Amino acid sequence: MLTDIKIGQFFPANSLLHKLDARLKIVSLFILIVGIFVFDSQLDYIIWCMLIGTLMYMSKIPLKMFFISIKPIIWIILFTFILHLFTTQGKVIFEIWKLSITWEGLANGSFVCLRLLLLMFGASLLTFTTPPLVLSDALEDLMKPLKRFGVPAHELAMMMTIALRFIPTLLEETDKIIKAQKSRGADFMTGNILKRVKAFMPILIPLFISAFRRADDLAMAMEARCYHGGVGRTRLKQLSFASRDYIAMTAFIGILLILTVIKIVFPHMVLFTL
C-alpha cells in the first residue's frame, strides 16, 4: 500500500530528539551523510550503527515506522547488493552460468546496503522528529548567509518544506486513483513491461491534474493571505539553543573525534573477514 510509506511525515512524541533545535539536527544529518562515506571501516560502521540505533530508541517512535520509511528504496538496495555480489572480483563462492559470486562481492554489497540503510534511517529521524514548519524555519535560518549573494533563502526553504509535506498527500492520491482504476477493471500486473507501463497512463494523467490543482489552490490561498515572500516576515517562535542542544552537540563532536582517531591510528583495521 502506498499509504504505508512514511516519507516526510512528523510523529509527535515526548522525546529528547523532538526537543532538540532543528538547526542542530539538520547540520548533524549533513555531517552524518559525509561521515558515513569518510569513516568507512568495519569499526566505524559498528559505531555508526550503535549511534543510529540509540537515536532511534531515544526518539520513542515505533521501530516499524523506520522500516516502512525504507520501503520506497528497498528495490534499489536489493539491486545494489546483487550488482556488487556478481561484479566484484575475488575469491569465488560458487558460479551461476557465467556469473560468479565472490566473498569480496558479498562483503562490499553488504556494506553498501548498510550505508544506504543508515542514510535513510538518519533522514527519517530528522523528518519524524521535526514539524514541517519548524524544519522550514531552521532551513531558512541556516541559509541566511546566502542572502548576501541574492539567494532567496525564505522561498527556497518554503519550497523544500512544501515538497516534503506533499509527498504523503500525493502518495495517498495515487493509492486512491489505483483503487478506482482497479474497481473499473484495470489490470496493472499482467503482460510485458510495455503493456504495464501503458496501463499506468490512466493513473499518471489524473495524478498530474490533481497535483497541478493542489498547487493552484495553494498559490491562491497564499495570495489571499497577502504572502509576498520573506521580506518583513516575523516568527511566532524564535529558534534558540538550550543546554540540551549544547550537550547533544558536544556528544556528537566527541563521536566524530573518536572516529577521526580510529581513521588516523588504525587506517586498515579489519575486525572480521568473510
Confidence check: pLDDT of 208 > 70:
yes
Q: What is the mean pLDDT of the chain?
A: 81
**50-to-8, 46, 47, 98, 244 alpha-carbon distances in Å:** 24, 6, 5, 39, 21
The answer to whether residue 216 is domain-embedded is no
Confidence check: pLDDT of 33 > 80:
yes
The answer to whether the beta carbons of residues 7 and 97 sit under 8 Å apart is: no
The answer to whether residue 21 is domain-embedded is yes
The answer to whether residue 191 is domain-embedded is no
Give the Cα separation of 60 and 14 in Å (integer).
Answer: 8
**Cell numbers 558536544 label which residue?**
250
Q: pTM here?
A: 0.77
The answer to whether the beta carbons of residues 68 and 5 sit under 8 Å apart is: yes
The answer to whether residue 215 is domain-embedded is no
The answer to whether residue 84 is domain-embedded is yes
The answer to whether residue 106 is domain-embedded is yes
Q: Which residue range forms the structural domain that includes residue 18?
A: 2-130+241-265
> Residue 50: its pLDDT value, please?
93
The answer to whether the beta carbons of residues 255 and 51 sit under 8 Å apart is: yes
> Residue 269: its pLDDT value, please?
63
> Residue 57: its pLDDT value, please?
92
Q: Which residues pair with residue 101 across a beta bridge?
A: 94
When divided into structural domains, the chain yields a total of 1
